[in-house]
Chain A
Amino acid sequence: MSQPPDGSPNTPLLDRADVRVKHATGISGAFEAFITRVKSGDLGFLPVIVGLLIICTVFQILNPVFLSSANIANLLFDSSTIGVISLGIVCVLMVAQIDLSVGSVSGFASALVGTLWVNQGWPVLLAIVAALVIGALIGAAYAFLFNWLGMPSFVSTLSGLLAFLGLQLFLLRSTGSINLPFESPLVSFGQLLTVPNWLSYALVALAAVGVFLTDYRIQQRRRTSGLSTQPMGTVAIKALAILVGLELIVFYLNQTRGVPWMFGLFVCLVIAMNYALKQTQWGRAMTAVGGNPEAARRAGINVTRIYMSAFMICSTLAALGGVLAASRLASASQQAGTGDVNLNAIAAAVIGGTSLFGGRGSAYSALLGIIVIQAISSGLTLLDLSSSLRYMITGAVLAIAVIVDSLSRRSRMSSGRG
């Protein structure tokens, strides 16, 4: 037995007993560990944050309006709709599947809300719930085709793309588009409503305190259990950085329009999804299924149910994104969800660092990725450049993101980090 018996005066910590392993300590140690991790291909959010900084610098130099408070508020409004769709894409990518129909499903959902609410006179909430339920059923259909008929998801969702686009055109066949009542809460939500200043500061403070307390409790428990701990300084600095950074951003936004409620909803969904993926048994199962479905099955995980949940969440969020897009545009049109919506939603997740190969990703990648895409789009619009250039630049950024994903995967393999 290699471990010294317990009770000796300097019993090593439970996870520090192996003397051959170098363990970084303190704040400089944490930084060193970060560098080692990046070198071995575990890049995390580094590429997308570097990319965002470059994009902001370039556009700010070309047009000083770019980083103005009002423009950023606008950018956040625009990010929320596709961002919600992209959050669903993160889910299917986690289990190494894809949903190519999210654009069509979002367009179909907006047409459905327009028809049921405006044309049929349903209460707006009921119309939205109906659209979300139909979204969930669409996901269930994909999962059924995948689980029981073995149909690859890129094929089933490709046919879904066409089918639901057809349904959307059919619903709107007489008028081409349905205008949503301008004074309705749904439209103000998508165009005007922002979080009151005091509330925005309070929520950010609450988030920072929450992060600090969670980390503090974990470190406390690790200490009493004889596991290694982070120095309290690191914990405090992290929470303080979140507090100051976010309060400054909110303060800057509050100079003009403030923080859109719609963006607040998106961020709440991102936080909830992050919790679900990282802190629950379901999230663990999603990661396992994405990494090695057979190993997950042998561990007793109900793999078909995990695929089912991933596809259903994805199309439900796509439908929600469609409703938000309708509220943003104050209409449900035949163009909704077409064009680049689909690819932007998928690109955002990948640009944000969720792997196309499955088993590796984060809800925050939807948030960061969609901000990158919308920043490019907004910057080019400010420069009066046509959409042709926008497509080309977004395409190039996506290509870079996929290359980074592939290269980091390769370097993870060679340095053995899966």
Chain B
Amino acid sequence: MSEHLESAVPRGEPVLSLRGISKNFGAVSALTDINFDVHAGEVVALVGDNGAGKSTLVKVLAGVHQPSAGEIFFDGKPVKLTDPSTALDLGIATVFQDLALCENLDVVANIFLGREKGPWHLDEVGMEIRSWTLLNELSARIPSVREPIASLSGGQRQTVAIARSLLLQPKLIMLDEPTAALGVAQTAEVLDLIERVRARGLGVLMISHNMEDVRAVADRIVVLRLGRNNGILTPDASNEELVSAITGATENSVTRRAGRRAQREHSNEASS
């Protein structure tokens, strides 16, 4: 699956650079001194335990939260992401963990929310066609785009949220646990999509708890722990390395189990 070669991936200019980003919620420091880059045509995975600050970082980059300190560069220029529309206008699209859809609006209205065709007379037919095109690209199974979002399943909603992020043809896409609610086929479809998006030269920042997904598509893995950078790894890093970077422990039950499995596989390989 993860057979693409590290060096074969064409690295563009950095689309996004973070320098010393911190974010405090009152006394809680959710993020402290975060530094990393996302290049054009690169998938960066952001991993970390629950509460590590991944979603907070995504929200800072989406203009939802303001950083307490630090600088953000987009396309090489320093930017202030004062509100979500600034981020959207720059070309930063986000699929939030909680999806941020309006349950009382239908699928088309949600995909085009804030970016409707025809501000003074909505082009409903045009928007519906574009919605179907986007959804078909994702192989979505949506019964009707004219039903309120509330009638859709979790996976279908997630697909709608992803379709919405693609609408604006962004330069950087951030996906906060995009496959959490998806089935096997849809997950594969989303990973496929991420690779296609990368091939088009966009930057992708993906959060996932699924290490297999991360290894499958990521070019680099940024590890957050307790709101701090805890290492930047490559997808061929061993499971132990990843787990210890995420948990901070050099040895725990996961690494021990992984160690045993590796040993078993090793002996299997040797015997076959």
Known: A291-B104, A302-B85. A21 touches B122 (CB 8 A): no
Binds A, one of B21-29, B39-47, B128-136, B218-226: B128-136
Q: Is A203 an interface residue (CB 8 A)?
A: no
Q: Does B125 contact A (CB under 8 A)?
A: yes
Is the CB of A238 closer than 8 A to any CB of chain B? no
Q: Which of A84-92, A218-226, A321-329 contacts B (4 or more CB under 8 A)?
A: A218-226
Residues of B whose CB lies within 8 Å of any CB of A are 62, 64, 83-85, 88-89, 94, 96, 100-105, 109, 113-116, 118-122, 124-125, 128-129, 132, 136, 139, 141-145, 147-152
Closest CB pairs A-B (n = 5): A418-B150, A300-B85, A418-B103, A291-B104, A299-B114
- Interface of A, secondary structure class, is loop
* Choice from B94, B105, B109, B129 contacting A227 with Cβ under 8 Å: B129
Within 8 A of B (CB), among A1-58: 1-3, 14-15, 17-18, 20-21
Of B103, B114, B119, B124, which one neighbours A218 at CB under 8 angstroms?
B124
Instruction: State A226–B130 Cα separation when bound (angstroms).
Output: 12
**With A218-B124, A412-B150 given, is the CB distance from A20 to B143 under 8 Å?**
yes
- Is there an interface contact between A222 and B104, defined as CB atoms closer than 8 Å? no
**CB proximity to B under 8 Å, residues A190-237:** 218, 221-222, 225-227
Given known pairs A227-B128, A279-B121, the reply for A295 and B100 (CB within 8 Å) is yes
Taking a contact as CB atoms under 8 Å apart, the answer to whether A292 and B101 are in contact is yes
Question: How far is A226 from B145 in the complex, measured between Cα atoms in Å?
Answer: 14
Q: If the complex has contacts A218-B124, A415-B151, A417-B147, are A15 and B132 also in contact, measured as CB distance less than 8 A?
A: yes
Interchain Cβ contacts within 8 Å, total number? 120
Contact A297 B132 (CB under 8 A): no
> Number of contact residues on A: which range applies?
35 or more
**B113 near A2: Cβ-Cβ < 8 Å:** no
Contacts of B94 in A (CB 8 A): 298
- CB of A416 within 8 A of chain B? yes
Q: Tell me which of A168-176, A261-269, A281-289 binds B.
A: A281-289
Q: Nearest-CB distance from B118 to chain A (Å)?
A: 8
Q: A290-B104, A299-B113 are in contact. Are A15 and B145 (CB under 8 A)?
A: yes
Q: Which of B85, B105, B149 has the most CB of A within 10 A?
A: B105
Which chain A residues lie closer than 8 Å to B141 at the CB level?
A: 2, 18
Residue from A2, A15, A284, A291 within 8 A of B116 (CB atoms)? A284
